[in-house]
Amino acid sequence: MHRSRKAKIVATLGPASSSKEMIKALFKAGADVFRFNFSHGSHTDHQLRCNIVREIEAELGRPIAILADLQGPKLRVGQFSAGRVILTAGQDFILDSDSTPGDANRVCLPHPELFAVITAGQALLLDDGKLRLQVMDSDAHSIRTRVINGGALSDRKGVNVPDAVLPIPALTEKDKRDLAFALDMGADWIALSFVQRPEDVAEAKALVAGRAGVLAKLEKPAALDRLEEIVAASDAIMVARGDLGVELPPERVPGVQKRILRVCRSHGKPIVIATQMLESMIAAPVPTRAEASDVASAIYDGADAVMLSAESASGAYPVAAVEIMDRIISEVERDPLYKNMVAAQHEAPQNNKGDAICAALRSVTQIVGAVATVTYTTSGHTSLRAARERPMAPILSITPTMNTARRLALVWGVHSSVSDVVSNEDILVATACRTAWQEGLAQVGEQIAITAGVPFGQPGSTNLLRIAEIWPQH
């Protein structure tokens, strides 16, 4: 089976989507990547879901990617003696290092590293931005604030600091334990939360050591100051609009999303748009028209993938959410305007052999009317560079490595197939023609464009381009 669309769908697994029947239904409805949220659930829960995904993968014969999403250094207030308090606009409120349960005047902030970087005039946002405090003054043990926007505040609610680069690692001790488990489990992608600097990505990549792709989640305004460096250091990017939308004014988020998309397209790095895409479907069988437009806009802008969070993890209509997202993407990609926008967004190839060949692959595909572009790749690099070119014909990525095939399930336009190692050009062409026919991407008499690297099996050596016709013997 192959998808008729090019953009991919990431679906989060959770309590509403833990059975084999449900996970298989989500995949058949259109999910290409399953997200495991390590902010929730035990290692045992994740391992059981992973086993189910791999069983379904074997039964259906299609590579499926698993994205392990690490919790990251989520900042939270401590506890209150009464469980919750009401803060009133204009009152003073103190966050301090005292672990005693709080009241309406103060609460513990169990993050001592923050006290040294918080300064007067900065804003603190509590409970996903519902409450806003302005810092009046601070010292090594306390921060005195004035309540700007009040409301109810209860135990362990989140704290966002939009005006500062925080001296906290992107990987907590919990994250490191979860990362080691996720790699042993066989995750294909590791999502790194609250990335602020390229050094955060470098730390994670050193621990991952090539066993998975590293996806940086952009949800801190500080990351935008070093966006180019973070994108260059990462294997993929996620625009996590939940926390980003808390720390940035709402009117800035659409423009920031488009800016990140452009940078990722320029670098040829896959980009996922996430959070609140079809949020009303947590409880309703259909999305709002605004949500449908949001998904469509991400596709028109060139996103590699769009993501469902609670909609598929804990919502009442997980399969319906994937189905409607699949239909929205397919409708956009049938629109002639979409093809024009993809062409208008086309990035000039970079100065290397791989980009030169992949740019030629795109041109050849258009000129001869090839029905598929075929990339033979070991590491996935050739398929990524081909996807950067955004050819209108499907990209059939043939690889001898299942891990590579799974990782490419996140990438725009790529349909992966696992095949034996090829040893010469004739075997390569025969394998490409046979696979394109078997996968339903090409019929007898149609042409395909093929690219690979010679010598075969050497990553980053893309230097071959062939046109072939599908014959009955294939």
> What is the distance between the alpha carbons of residues 47 and 57, in angstroms, rounded to a whole number?
15
Of 197, 217, 220, 269, the active-site residue reads 217
Here the tokens at position 421 are 């190692």
Confidence (pLDDT) at 460: 67
Structure tokens at 46: 């994740």
**Which CATH code of 3.40.50.300, 3.10.180.10, 3.20.20.60, 3.40.50.720 fits the domain covering 8-73+170-332?**
3.20.20.60
> How many angstroms separate the CA atoms of 376 and 402, rounded?
13
Every domain of the chain with CATH number 2.40.33.10 lies at 84-160
pLDDT tens for each residue of 440-463: 999 999 999 999 887 776 776 688
> For residue 116, is pLDDT > 90?
no
Q: Exactly one of 3, 49, 197, 275 is catalytic; which is it? A: 275
Lowest-pLDDT choice from 3-17, 133-147, 344-358: 344-358
Rounded distance between C-alpha atoms, residue 13 and residue 241, angstroms:
19
Tens of pLDDT, residues 208-230: 999 999 999 999 899 999 999 99
Q: What stretch(es) of the chain map to CATH 3.20.20.60?
A: 8-73+170-332
What are the two backbone dihedrals, phi and then psi, of residue 120, each rounded to the nearest 5 degrees?
-60, 140
What is 272-339 written as a DSSP string? EEESSSSGGGGTSSS--HHHHHHHHHHHHTT-SEEEESHHHHT-S-HHHHHHHHHHHHHHHHHSHHHH
Q: Which of 35, 49, 390, 407 is catalytic?
A: 35
Q: Is the pLDDT of residue 25 over 60?
A: yes
pLDDT for the residue numbered 121? 95
Which of 154-168, 288-302, 340-354, 413-427 shows the highest mean pLDDT?
288-302
The answer to whether 368 and 467 are in contact (CB under 8 A) is yes
Query: What local confidence, expressed as pLDDT, does residue 474 receive?
Result: 45
Which residue has tokens 């309406």? Answer: 104
What are the residue ranges of CATH 3.40.1380.20 in the chain?
353-469
DSSP 345: T
285 pLDDT exceeds 90? yes
Average pLDDT for residues 27-40, to the nearest whole number?
97
Helix%, strand%, coil% for the chain, nearest 5? 40, 25, 40
Q: How far, CA to CA in Å, does 417 sit from each of 77, 346, 375, 411?
A: 48, 26, 10, 14
377-387 pLDDT per residue, tens: 999 999 999 99
Q: Is 35 a catalytic residue?
A: yes
Confidence band of 164 (pLDDT split at 50, 70, 90): confident
First vs last C-alpha separation in the chain: 19
Torsion of CA 189, 194, 197, 199, to 10 degrees: -50
pLDDT attached to residue 328: 98
Structure tokens at 49: 């879901």
Closest to 398 in 3D by CA, of 355, 435, 363: 435
Q: Which helix (H) or strand (E) holds 158?
A: none
What is the C-alpha to C-alpha distance for residues 261 and 302, in angstroms, rounded to an integer? 7
For the residues 361-369, what does the mean pLDDT come to? Answer: 92
CA max distance for the chain: 81
409-452 pLDDT, tens digit each: 999 999 999 998 888 899 999 999 999 999 999 999 999 999 98
Contact 435, 419 (CB under 8 A): yes
What residue has token string 């045992």? Answer: 44
Q: Which of 24, 74, 76, 176 is catalytic?
A: 76
Residue 377 is among the residues annotated as catalytic for this protein = no
Task: Choose which CATH entry (3.10.20.30, 3.10.450.50, 2.40.33.10, 3.40.228.10) describes domain 84-160.
Answer: 2.40.33.10
Taking the CB of residue 320, how many other CB atoms lie within 10 A of it? Answer: 19
Domain covering 353-469, topology: Pyruvate Kinase; Chain: A, domain 1 (3.40.1380)
Q: Is-cis flag, bond preceding 270, omega within 30?
A: no
